[in-house]
Amino acid sequence: MNKSVNLPPLNWLKTFESAARLLNFSAAGRELHLTQSAVSQQVRLLEHHLGEPLFIREHRTVYLTNSGLAYLPVVQSAISNLQRNTSEIFSPLGKGRLVIEVNIAFSIMWLTPRLSCFCAMYPELKLQLVHANWDNEYNRSPADVTIMHGNGDWPGMHLHPLFTSNLKPYCSPTLADQLNAPSDLLAVPLLEIIGNRQGWQEWFQKASVKIDSADIIYHKTDNLAAGMSMGEAGLGVFLGYPDFFTRQRSHHTLLAPFDICIETEDNYYLAYPKGKPLSKSAAVFNEWLLNELKI
């Protein structure tokens, strides 16, 4: 069994990284503000600690051994991660990176059109958006905050519902002009968002309209953003959250032909893990988001 090796001191690793990258102990000394002999001594101490040579020394030239070549990217990655995380935790707000994992429909239809306002408040903050659609696509990569769609059954997460959990029909103004009563919807194409737990069956029941599902024309899509685009283009009527379409309603690109709503189990949620402190950038983003939604 191989004997485990304790982690070497950080200053030895930084010296090794500089010397290995530059392949010159004198140049490494100038970069680190050390003498050439100090660099050489720290490298020898590291080699003794690890039990293997990291450099081949020939006259005034040095080369990395196979172990040195293998160790260099490991050390560089560790130092880079340490520097980045230290900066994000301790630097002034606005100089870190905020990773937002976000439902693709929410991103397209609500978040990205408003992000310029957030970025204007924190101009040095770097954003990274990672998109997901289905439940099993979330939490695939580390994120500071997540905006999810579903029924909120996510153990271990703090959850803030973002919308009123109602669904109402929406369509283009041209199509809305053809609809006078809820039963008129049986004569036009309906758009179904795959994955929603409530839909047209429940809406027609609420509207007291008897239906034969075999006679209904459905177009299907897997996200609400596509459904909205199809609705704006006049391809049919879809069910959506009234809070979601404030811009489209104000520009009259979407209309609600009827005020009948159904309650839904699903919603969009601002989510982050319990027991894990929020970064400063995540905290200000959460505050901004909830304020924009007036929650």
What confidence score (pLDDT) does residue 136 get?
Answer: 65
Tell me which CATH code domain 166-263 carries.
3.40.190.10
- Domain 97-162+267-292 in CATH: superfamily? Periplasmic binding protein-like II (3.40.190.10)
Nearest CA among 102, 101, 104 for reference residue 228: 104
Per-residue b or e along 247-269, where b marks 16 or more CB atoms closer than 10 Å to that residue's CB: ebeeeebbbbbbebbbebebbbb
50-77: average pLDDT: 93
Listed range (12-16, 108-112, 249-253) with the worst mean pLDDT: 249-253
How far is Cα 223 from Cα 62, in angstroms, rounded to an integer?
A: 58
Per-residue b or e along 76-101, where b marks 16 or more CB atoms closer than 10 Å to that residue's CB: eeeeeeeeeeeebeeeeeeebebbbb
Which own/partner contact pairs does 194-197 have at CB distance under 8 Å and 24+ positions apart?
194/220, 194/221, 194/222, 195/134, 195/222, 196/167, 196/239, 196/264, 196/266, 197/151, 197/264, 197/265, 197/266
What 8-state DSSP symbol labels residue 159?
A: E
Listed range (95-109, 171-185, 256-270) with the worst mean pLDDT: 95-109
How far is Cα 170 from Cα 246, in angstroms, rounded to an integer?
A: 12
Q: What is the pLDDT of residues 124-144, one digit of tens each?
A: 888 999 888 776 666 666 788
- Note whether 10-90 and 166-263 share their fold: no
Q: How many residues does the chain have?
A: 295
CATH architecture of the region 10-90? Orthogonal Bundle (1.10)
184-209: average pLDDT: 92
What confidence score (pLDDT) does residue 1 get?
Answer: 40
How many Å is the maximal CA-CA distance in the chain?
92
In order of 162, 190, 218, the CA distances from 199 in angstroms are 20, 10, 12
Q: Is the pLDDT at 196 greater than 60, yes or no?
A: yes
What confidence score (pLDDT) does residue 92 get?
Answer: 56
Sequence spans of domains, the chain: 10-90, 97-162+267-292, 166-263
Higher pLDDT, 288 or 154: 288
Q: What is the pLDDT of residues 69-94, one digit of tens each?
A: 999 999 999 998 888 777 666 665 65
What confidence score (pLDDT) does residue 2 get?
Answer: 53
Q: Supply the mean pLDDT for the chain.
A: 88
Handedness of CA 135, 149, 88, 276 (dihedral sign): negative
